[in-house]
Amino acid sequence: MNLLNIMLMTQPEGGEGNPYQGIIMMVLIIGVFYFFFIRPQQKKAKDAVKMRDALKKGDKIVTVGGIHGKIIEMADTTFTIEVEGQSRLKINRDAVSPSGDTTVGQKK
C-alpha cells in the first residue's frame, strides 16, 4: 500500500461529530422554555379560572382596572358589583383580578 492510500483511509481530524447533536440541543431548549415559561403560565390561568368560579354574592373583588367592589348579582358571564357611593357596575367575569385583594368566600 502506498502512503497516499493510507492517508485517505484515515478519518479526518475533528470529525463530523454527532449528527443528532443539533436536534438534541433544540429539544432541550424547547423543554426548558416549556417548563420555565409555558407551564407556569398555564397553571396561573387555571388557578385564576378556579378562583373566578368560586366567587359568590357578597365577595369583595378587585377588577383588572383597579376598581374595588362587592358582588351583588351574578350571571353566567357577568357580575354586578357595588362600589363606593352605592354605584353599580356590570363587569365581565374575566375582568376580576386574581390578586391577593380578592376575598373569595369571606364576608367582611
Pick the CATH number of 55-108 from 2.30.30, 3.90.70, 3.30.1490, 2.60.120: 2.30.30
Helices (H), 1-108: 3-9, 21-33, 39-53
Compute the distance between CA of residue 71 and CA of residue 58 in angstroms, rounded to an integer. 5
Say yes or no to pLDDT of 6 above 90.
no
The four Cα atoms 27, 32, 37, 41 give a dihedral, to 10 degrees, of: 80
3-state SS of the chain: helix, strand, coil percent to 5?
Answer: 45, 25, 35
Q: Is 47 or 5 the better-scoring residue by pLDDT?
A: 47
Q: How far is CA 86 from CA 31, 57, 65, 107, in A?
A: 51, 16, 19, 18
What cell was used for 80?
354586578
Domain borders along the chain are 20-53, 55-108
Q: What is the pLDDT of residues 40-71, one digit of tens each?
A: 999 999 998 999 989 999 999 999 999 999 99
Distance (Å, whole) CA 12 – CA 62: 68
Q: Is the pLDDT of residue 15 over 60?
A: no
